[in-house]
A and B are shown apart, each in its own frame.
Chain A
Amino acid sequence: GQNIDQPTEMTATEGAIVQINCTYQTSGFNGLFWYQQHAGEAPTFLSYNVLDGLEEKGRFSSFLSRSKGYSYLLLKELQMKDSASYLCAVKDSNYQLIWGAGTKLIIKP
């Protein structure tokens, strides 16, 4: 079966750096996505990786290793507004999105 694994919850301190990991086992691969979802709100797109390596976008970076079935989302200079759930999703060989359950990130002052 297809599977996306990410930690259920993480805690970090304001101003620090946090890395949220995602491992996947899917039938084929056509890209990996990270979405941010604040409590009670809609998910919003953060990043897309289809080739190995690091994609940087401001304070957020996303890394992909296709051979390891692994990605991480790196958040720098954490702010209180970064408290949210972070969803990892993979597009499989049928171009269907498979979603992880999300990682709830708690930022403490």
Chain B
Amino acid sequence: IAGITQAPTSQILAAGRRMTLRCTQDMRHNAMYWYRQDLGLGLRLIHYSNTAGTTGKGEVPDGYSVSRANTDDFPLTLASAVPSQTSVYFCASSVASGANVLTFGAGSRLTVL
């Protein structure tokens, strides 16, 4: 089934640990995005990639890094997790940057203690 796969679905992590959230899409979309969703707030963009080999910072990039080695994969890394990074993380993609429709993954729920 075409779409976006995120892993893990849920994770509890000790503060200070390193964590990578995985995101893979099979739609050959050029643009990919990482958002976090917190109660009472709108989705906030962490990082994005307009095409393989390029990345950019979104609204809340501090404490996160991404890479885009190929079209399909867009992992998000927390180098040293802090409790404020407790959130639900959504990976999304679109045909191209600026395209009107985003396709989202099912989300990764991360708890940092």
| Chain A residues at the B interface, C-beta cutoff of 8 Å | 4, 8, 31, 33, 40-45, 48, 87, 89, 91, 95-102
Contacts and interface: CB of A to CB of B under 8 A. Distances in A.
A74 B106 CA distance: 26
A43 B100 CA distance: 14
Contacts of B101: 45, 48
Contacts, number: 43
A102 B40 CA distance: 8
Interface of B: 40-45, 58, 90, 97-98, 100-107
24 contacts: A8-B40, A40-B107, A41-B106, A42-B105, A42-B106, A43-B90, A43-B104, A45-B102, A48-B100, A48-B101, A87-B43, A89-B43, A91-B100, A95-B97, A95-B98, A96-B58, A97-B43, A97-B45, A98-B42, A99-B42, A99-B43, A100-B42, A101-B40, A101-B41
Given A42-B106, A96-B45, A97-B45, A31 B40 contact: no
Contact of A33 (B100, B103, B106): B100
Chain B contact surface mostly: loop
B40 A44 contact: no
Given A95-B97, A95-B98, A44 B43 contact: no
Contacts of B106: 41-42
Nearest to B42: A99
Contacts of A44: 104
Contacts of A4: 42
Contacts of B102: 43, 45, 97
B56 to A, nearest CB: 10
